[in-house]
Every structure is written in C-alpha cells, then in structure tokens.
Amino acid sequence: MKKKSITEPRTSYTFDAYTNSEIRRAAETGIYDIRGGGSKRNLPNFDDLLFLGASISRYPLEGYREACNTKVILGDRFSSNPLNLEIPITIAGMSFGALSAQAKEALGRGASLVGTSTTTGDGGMTKEERGHSKQLVYQLLPSRYGMNPDDLRKADAIEIVVGQGAKPGGGGMLLGQKINDRVAEMRTLPKGIDQRSPCRHPDWTGPDDMEIKILELREITGWKVPIFVKVAGSRPYYDVALAAKSGADVVVVDGMQGGTAATQEVFIENVGIPTLACVRPAVRALQELGLHRKVQLIVSGGIRNGADVAKALALGADAVSIGSAALIALGDNDPRYQKDYEKLGTTAGSFDDWHEGLDPAGITTQDKKLVKRLDPKLGGKRLANYLNVMTMEAQTIARACGKNDLRNLEPEDLCALTVESAAMAGVPLAGTNWIPGN
C-alpha cells in the first residue's frame, strides 16, 4: 500500500514551472527561445512610486477648470524645425516587417489625431506611415535596411538608434517566415531568409565618431530637423552624457521593459536595467552638463498609463514613448482572439511569438489574410482614445500636485513604496525623508 504523505507537495522556487518548461523546451529543440515584447519579470517599476497630492502645505489646481499644459517641444537645441507635440507621449520606433503596413498606418493615424509623433523602425519608411503621420521620426539603425536619403529628407526628425532596452548591446532578428516580397525588397535581401540586424553601426564607433555622424546628418538635412539619439537602459548616466555631448537634440532612454520584435528570451530578461532606474541618472547627466530641458529626454519601456507618464516627467523626463502599449490599444493580445491564441499554444495576454508571423490580431504579421483583421482607421481611433486618456490621467495627477504644466511635476511630488524604488528613483521612502544612497 502506498504511503500517504503528511506534507503538501513542495515545488521549488528555483525550479518553478516556467523554468522547468524552458529546460524541457531547450532539451527538446536545441534552440534558445526567441520572442517579442519586453521583460516580463516583476521588476521595480513606476507602480512603486506614489504622488504626494496637495493639501495644506501645497495648493492644488481645480480639475476640469484650471488649465494644465501638455505641450512639449522636442529638438530645439540645434534644429530650426523642432517637433511641436500636443502631448508628451510619442510612439516608439517599430519596423515595417515586424509590423504590418496596416499597423504602421494605424499608429500614424492615431498619433496624428492627438498631435504627437510616430517613429519608423528597421526596414525604412513606408508610404502608409509617412502619409498618415503628421510628425514622423525616421530611425537610422545599424542595419541601414531601407535607409534612403530621400526618405531622410521627408522626415520630421531623425533618431540614431544606438541601443534598445530589450537588448542593450544586441542586434535584431527578423525570421524568414515574415519576409515577404515587399519586406525583402525594402531590405535588399532575398525572400525567406533570416534578417539579422547588426548591433553596431557600420560606419562609426564611439562618441567622437557619433558627433561627426550627427554633423553629416545635419548637413544632409540642412540643420532643419532634430536629431534624436536612442540608447538602451544600461549605463544611462554615461550614455546620455555622451549623446548630449555629441550634439544630440533629444536623447531617448529605453529601459528593459521596452519591447522588441524578436530577441532571445535570455537577453530580454537578463541584460539592461529597469526603466525606473534609468530616469534619474539620465537627468543628472543632463543637469551636470547644464543641458536639462535644453536637450530633451524621452523615457520609454513599459509605460502604460497616465500615472506612468506623470511619474517619468516628475523624475525629469520631457516626454515618454510607448510601443507595446500602443500595440495593445490596436488590438494586440485581445481576448476576442482567444481561440486563435489557443491554437498557437498560448493565451490572450501571453502571446509573444511575434517573430513567427501568425499574430491573430493582424499586427505583427505579413500574412495577407491576418493583416486584414486590423482596420487602420479604427485602430488609429483606438490609439487616439488611449493617448487622450493617458494625457488626461497625467493632467489629473499634475493638478492634484498643484502643477499647471505636466513638466512642472518634480521629484518632490513623489515618494516610494520600497527601499529599492526609493534608491532607484531618488525619492524618499513613503512616510520618511530617507532617500537610500543619498
């Protein structure tokens, strides 16, 4: 007779169910896991911060009555035509190839409806995106796929991509199954092969070279459009300082919750630092150079709502950028496709095999039938609604803190729930005046 255990079965914290499944998958396939999206770990994040609303010692503004400015100008350091945005939330770079043309169009439509910018990605500029984006940032990436001086001159700003939060120090990968004729032609590569995006630019290394690269781009575009430099959240103090010193108008810092089209899981979850930890070092670098607010700082990576926007701005950012959240607004991982997700062995909310080109929502795919599931007009409207809600949420918080401009929010308006987040954000632990590390 079987002996009955008197204790509950104990699962290992170290070898949890996901870890075990990943070991089995690796053993079975011999291939590391590649997926899209950003870090899924439980990282310190903006939820660990709280605002200190006004009461007697601070004076609040009336909600719905007193104005709270949301406009921001990006790139007025050296360019003659900076971006004038109605809201401090931009759409991050995502490539045609990784996304369908319809998705790129929807992003452009949504951003334009609310007066903000969208950004190209690896693979160049599509006519759908340019045509529907009032303010379009053109990325200069290491691969230079689709890089074209004609498109460069059509851009409203240029973003030199040095790194991406999901994979600091890493390149990209667009697997062959997503390479249709149009994507292949834009990237000057055969159809159906894996397209590796290098991790370094082909014609420069280091900040001294980057300064000359920025000069070249300004000479090509007549010093009209702003030059952004995007760095991954890794060593934000040094990278932001070097980008600013190299002549950038705007620096974008992308934390490890920032998404990718396709990268190794081990890379996404183990390289880089959380977005929360990026902001203060980046701001300090600009302040020490006397360039805070002169070189604008955009923070991205896991921004989800108006509270995140307000917190990033309170820590010193000038704007934020969203990618994954924008795709969710369009319909990514929507429960209405649950049955289709189940056929792919996943669930709505967990789907991240964007590289396989089978996205039921028609966003991260080039499949002719699937892409029709996304109506660019409707998607654009949904994105605009979402951006408006985020902005109003941020305004609500700012007014409660007595601020008539989102960018007047400051670290003094914040406290932290954990010692870790207090140290990372440089704000006091709630109920104390203790800032760890100070």
User: Residues interacting with other proteins, by CB under 8 A?
Assistant: 29-31, 143-144, 147-150, 152-153, 173, 175-176, 188-190, 192-194, 196, 198, 202-204, 209, 212-213, 215-216, 219-223
Q: How far apart are CA 272 and CA 264, in angstroms?
A: 14
Contact by Cβ (8 Å): 198, 140: no
CA distances from 295 to 137, 178, 245, 249, 384 (A): 17, 37, 10, 5, 27
* Maximal CA-CA distance, the chain: 86
Closest separation in Å from C-beta 199 to other proteins: 11
Nearer to other proteins, 204 or 237 (CB): 204
Closest separation in Å from C-beta 175 to other proteins: 7
Residue among 362, 364, 329 at smallest CA distance from 37 = 364
Contact by Cβ (8 Å): 333, 351: yes
Closest separation in Å from C-beta 189 to other proteins: 6
Nearer to other proteins, 47 or 211 (CB): 211
Nearer to other proteins, 152 or 289 (CB): 152
Residue among 38, 11, 53, 26 at smallest CA distance from 354 = 38
Q: How far apart are CA 51 and CA 17, in angstroms?
A: 37
Closest separation in Å from C-beta 164 to other proteins: 18
Nearer to other proteins, 209 or 412 (CB): 209
Closest separation in Å from C-beta 220 to other proteins: 3
Closest separation in Å from C-beta 68 to other proteins: 40
Enter the tokens of residue 355. Answer: 């590289």
With 0-12 CB in 10 A as exposed, 13-18 as middle and 19+ as buried, what is 233? buried
Q: How far apart are CA 370 and CA 432, in angstroms?
A: 53
Nearer to other proteins, 152 or 429 (CB): 152
Contact by Cβ (8 Å): 32, 26: yes
Contact by Cβ (8 Å): 186, 129: no
| Residue 113: other Cβ atoms inside 10 A | 18
Closest separation in Å from C-beta 382 to other proteins: 35
Round the CA-based radius of gyration of the chain to a whole number and report it.
Answer: 22
Closest separation in Å from C-beta 268 to other proteins: 17
Q: Which residues pair with 322 in a beta bridge?
A: 91
Rounded to 5°, the CA angle 53-329-164 comes to 85
Nearer to other proteins, 71 or 153 (CB): 153
Closest separation in Å from C-beta 196 to other proteins: 8
Nearer to other proteins, 200 or 336 (CB): 200
Residue among 179, 168, 347, 334 at smallest CA distance from 258 = 168
Residue among 370, 376, 410, 363 at smallest CA distance from 37 = 363
Nearer to other proteins, 177 or 346 (CB): 177
Closest separation in Å from C-beta 318 to other proteins: 28
Nearer to other proteins, 262 or 291 (CB): 262
Closest separation in Å from C-beta 202 to other proteins: 4
Nearer to other proteins, 66 or 203 (CB): 203
> Residue holding tokens 């892409």?
371
Nearer to other proteins, 188 or 404 (CB): 188
Nearer to other proteins, 32 or 238 (CB): 32
Enter the tokens of residue 139. Answer: 């990325």
Closest separation in Å from C-beta 310 to other proteins: 40
Q: How far apart are CA 414 and CA 215, in angstroms?
A: 39
Helices 275-288 & 236-245, crossing angle to 10 degrees?
40
Q: Helix, strand, or coil here: 357?
A: coil
Phi, psi at residue 119, to the nearest 5°? -135, 140
